[in-house]
């Protein structure tokens, strides 16, 4: 993403001139677009909305929007209003006070917008035109042509920016045809509807479905292709257009579409060397070790093992390749159940949630859930997900939730039937969007949501920024306390070892002074060497066990600890291990030396 991203949304749906048709979509479209563009997890734009402004205010806000920008800035300007054409064929954008006979004085000419765009210093500029060009005027609008077309893109794609690096224009339609019915506006169903275009833009960004190449970013080309398909599917009479002069690819938003991507931790060099060994048994042992690492709770470690196993499955001899393939089969997505039927649900009711459990090791349970229909609702849980449906519309519902993991995909099929609230049985589906669950209705709150199912924690809904838990919310101190106990035990083990060594040296010196009549066993017992040695062995072993328990608790219940607590736990357990292991080794060697050497002293 660029250093600075700014968006200006101009939405006009009410006009003082009676000849201009009131629009239904701009206000709700502006609110939806503002939300998705401002979301730091999606667009990360600073957004300003201008609603039902006069022509003078519109010109001031537009020029101010383009002024004082830097090459690192990306600008996005969105129009949702009537598009007007003068007698001379020039394109104008209607303001709330626009008078069709006085377009030059009361509307915003496309030439003005183009001049602002061409002189801005911003590096990238994108212009979205969602203008209703059909049915805009009554017969009394004598200063506006009632027929004929104007190429909207030609009003902008003439000059390259003076200071910036590139621009792009995407328009909802390139048609400027007007329809009349007597002295009233024609309500032609074939006329482009502004909400179709902007709704497709919002939906593509919000769900991530506009990320056609699933690379985690929505480029300008991705978004245009997605919007083109959606608009043409819903209204064959409307054809979005695009013109661009860009250097490099412009990414408009982040996306959660596609499979989970985990940065893998490579397997240890010794394990990689074993995989390349000429010895069959050595490679077989390496595959068995990779199978263990595949079950690891640390997903990067498990992902590294998975990638190595895939290489083995492709390249090694059949017997070892089959072992690797069997291991990989254990991390396939395995939702249970994979078919949900809610039966008949009263309209407007709150249906119960049905749980889906994700089986297998942590890597197999880590996935993205993408509902393909707007009426599907998905909530992540610690063991998988919960599903429920929106009951706002009557009719038969049938849809899918696509699960995408690191290695494969799976589908959960969902069915339900929404009946009248006081009825006795199912009814015929309503016409329009409700009868086609694959298409969300315009002007509703229904949205297709993408959620991340993470076995390491209970995730937040991805429509909002990821949940950041504050230290006050995460108060569990178990792991740090265990780590502190492990360190104390390790220090005690090391201290008792030093004490045992001191007593052993004194015993040996006394044995040397006694000459041939001395007995080292008597000297060792007299100085009490064995007691601190045994204490060292016990405390050192317990220190290692307690440290391992602390790290395990930290790994399995990570959401309960702050970053500082997690760091302290790792540091303390590392120090404890560094003290306890040498103490144990030295204590064991001292014990062996005593048992072997005492008969000869």
User: How far is 295 from 362, CA to CA, in rounded Å?
Assistant: 7
Domain 4-254 and domain 335-453 have a common topology:
no
pLDDT at 426: 43
Pick the CATH number of 335-453 from 2.60.40.10, 3.40.50.880, 3.40.50.1980, 2.40.50.140: 2.60.40.10
Longest dimension (CA), the chain: 132
**What pLDDT, on the 0 to 100 scale, is given for residue 462?**
42
Tell me, what DSSP letter sits at residue 86? B
Residue 430 clears pLDDT 60, i.e. is over it: no
Residue 471 has pLDDT above 90, yes or no: no
Confidence (pLDDT) at 514: 65
Does the pLDDT at position 465 exceed 50? no
Question: How far is residue 89's CA from residue 101's CA, in Å, rounded to a whole number?
Answer: 14
What percent of the chain is predicted at pLDDT more than 70? 76
- Contact between 321 and 314 (Cβ < 8 Å): yes
Task: Give the pLDDT score at 409.
Answer: 82
- pLDDT at 528 exceeding the cut of 70: yes
My answer on whether omega of the bond before 337 falls inside 30° of 0, hence cis, is yes
The torsion defined by the Cα of 412, 415, 421 and 422, in degrees rounded to 10, comes to -140
Residue 466 in 3-state DSSP? coil
> pLDDT category, 188, cuts 50, 70, 90?
very low
Residue 238 has pLDDT above 50, yes or no: yes
Pairwise CA distance, residues 8 & 538, whole Å: 69
pLDDT (tens digit per residue) in 321-365: 898 888 888 888 889 999 999 888 888 888 788 999 988 888 888
Give the single-character DSSP code of 122.
-
Question: Per residue, what are the HEC states of 381-430?
Answer: CCCEEEEEECCCCCEEEEEEEEEECCCCEEEEEEEEEEECCCCCCCCCCC
The gap between the terminal CA atoms of the chain, to the nearest Å, is 76
| Phi and psi torsions of 146, nearest 5° | -100, 5
More confident residue, 256 or 249: 249
pTM above threshold 0.75: no
Distance between CA atoms of residues 113 and 93, nearest Å: 10
Which sequence spans correspond to the domains of the chain?
Answer: 4-254, 269-329, 335-453, 478-600
- pLDDT of 201 > 60? The answer is yes
Residues 414 and 388: beta-carbon distance below 8 Å = no
Please, which residues have CB within 8 angstroms of residue 3's CB and are 6 or more apart in sequence? 70, 72, 73
pLDDT tens string 362-415? 888 888 888 888 788 888 887 888 898 888 888 898 999 888 887 778 899 999
To the question of domain 4-254 being in CATH 3.40.190.150, the answer is no
Residue 445 pLDDT > 90, yes or no?
A: no
Assign 258 a pLDDT band (cuts: 50, 70, 90). low
- The per-residue pLDDT for range 557-599, each reduced to its tens digit, is 766 677 677 778 888 888 988 888 988 898 888 878 777 666 6
Given this model, what pLDDT does residue 190 score? Answer: 41
The DSSP bridge pattern shows strands 395-404 and 384-389 to be unpaired
Residue that wins the pLDDT comparison between 247 and 71:
71
pLDDT band (50, 70, 90) for residue 177: very low
If one compares 174 and 432, the residue with the highest pLDDT of the two is 174
Tell me the pLDDT band of 173, cut-offs 50, 70 and 90. confident
Who has greater pLDDT, 539 or 428? 539
Exposure of 45 by Cβ count < 10 A (0-12 exposed, 13-18 middle, 19+ buried)? buried
CB 505 within 8 A of CB 590: no
Mean pLDDT (whole number) for 201-208: 87
Which pLDDT value is given to residue 56? 95
- The pLDDT value given to residue 59: 95
pLDDT (mean) for 306-329:
88
Task: Report the pLDDT value the prediction gives residue 157, as an integer from 0 to 100.
Answer: 53
What pLDDT score does 164 carry? Answer: 46
């Amino acid at each position: 993403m660029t250093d600075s991203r700014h968006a200006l949304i101009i939405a006009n749906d009410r006009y003082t001139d009676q000849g201009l048709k009131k629009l239904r979509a701009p206000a709700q479209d502006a609110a939806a677009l503002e939300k998705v563009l401002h979301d730091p997890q999606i667009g990360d734009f600073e957004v300003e909305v201008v609603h039902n402004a006069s022509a003078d205010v519109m010109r001031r806000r537009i020029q101010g929007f383009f002024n004082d920008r830097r090459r690192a800035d990306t600008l996005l300007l969105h129009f949702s209003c009537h598009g007007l054409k003068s007698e001379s064929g020039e394109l104008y954008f209607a303001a709330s006070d626009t008078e069709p006979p006085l377009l030059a004085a009361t509307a915003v000419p496309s030439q003005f917008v183009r001049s602002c765009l061409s002189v801005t210093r911003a590096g990238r500029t994108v212009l979205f035109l969602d203008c209703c060009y059909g049915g805009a005027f009554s017969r009394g609008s004598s200063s506006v042509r009632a027929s004929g077309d104007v190429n909207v893109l030609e009003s902008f794609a003439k000059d390259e920016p003076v200071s910036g690096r590139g621009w792009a224009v995407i328009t909802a339609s390139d048609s400027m045809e007007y329809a009349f019915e007597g002295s009233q506006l024609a309500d032609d169903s074939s006329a482009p509807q502004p909400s179709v275009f902007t709704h497709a833009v919002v939906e593509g960004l919000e769900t991530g479905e506009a990320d056609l190449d699933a690379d985690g970013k929505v480029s300008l080309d991705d978004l245009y292709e997605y919007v083109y398909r959606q608009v043409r599917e819903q209204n064959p009479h409307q054809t979005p257009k695009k013109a661009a002069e860009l250097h490099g690819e412009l990414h408009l938003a982040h996306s959660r579409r596609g499979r989970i991507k985990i940065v893998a931790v490579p397997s240890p060099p010794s394990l990689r060397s074993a995989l390349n060994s000429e010895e069959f048994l050595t490679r077989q042992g390496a595959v068995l070790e990779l199978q263990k690492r595949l079950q690891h709770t640390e997903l990067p470690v498990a992902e590294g093992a998975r990638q190595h196993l895939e290489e083995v499955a492709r390249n090694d001899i059949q017997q070892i390749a089959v072992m690797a393939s069997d291991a990989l089969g254990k991390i396939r997505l395995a939702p249970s159940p994979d078919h949900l039927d809610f039966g008949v649900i009263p309209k407007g009711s709150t249906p119960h949630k049905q749980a889906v459990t994700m089986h297998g090791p942590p890597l197999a349970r880590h996935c993205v859930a993408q509902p393909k229909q707007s009426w599907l609702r998905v909530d992540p849980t610690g063991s998988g997900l919960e599903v429920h449906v929106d009951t706002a519309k009557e009719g038969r519902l049938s849809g899918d939730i696509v699960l995408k993991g690191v290695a494969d995909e799976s589908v959960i099929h969902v069915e339900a039937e929404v009946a009248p609230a006081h009825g006795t049985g199912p009814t015929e589906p309503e016409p329009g969007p409700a009868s086609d669950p694959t298409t969300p209705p315009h002007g509703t709150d229904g949205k297709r949501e993408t959620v991340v199912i993470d076995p390491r924690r209970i995730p937040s809904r991805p429509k909002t920024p990821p949940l950041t838990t504050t230290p006050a919310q995460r108060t569990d101190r178990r792991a740090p306390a265990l780590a502190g106990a492990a360190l104390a035990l390790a220090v005690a083990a090391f201290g008792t070892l030093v004490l045992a060594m001191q007593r052993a040296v004194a015993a040996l010196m006394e044995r040397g002074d006694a000459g041939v009549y001395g007995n080292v066993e008597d000297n060792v017992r007299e100085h009490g060497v064995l007691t601190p040695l045994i204490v060292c062995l016990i405390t050192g072993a317990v220190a290692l066990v307690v440290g391992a328990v602390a790290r395990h608790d930290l790994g399995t219940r990570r959401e309960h600890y702050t970053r500082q607590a997690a760091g302290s736990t790792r540091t303390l357990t590392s120090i404890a291990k560094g003290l306890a292991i040498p103490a144990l080794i030295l204590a064991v060697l001292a014990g062996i030396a005593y048992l072997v050497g005492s008969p000869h002293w």
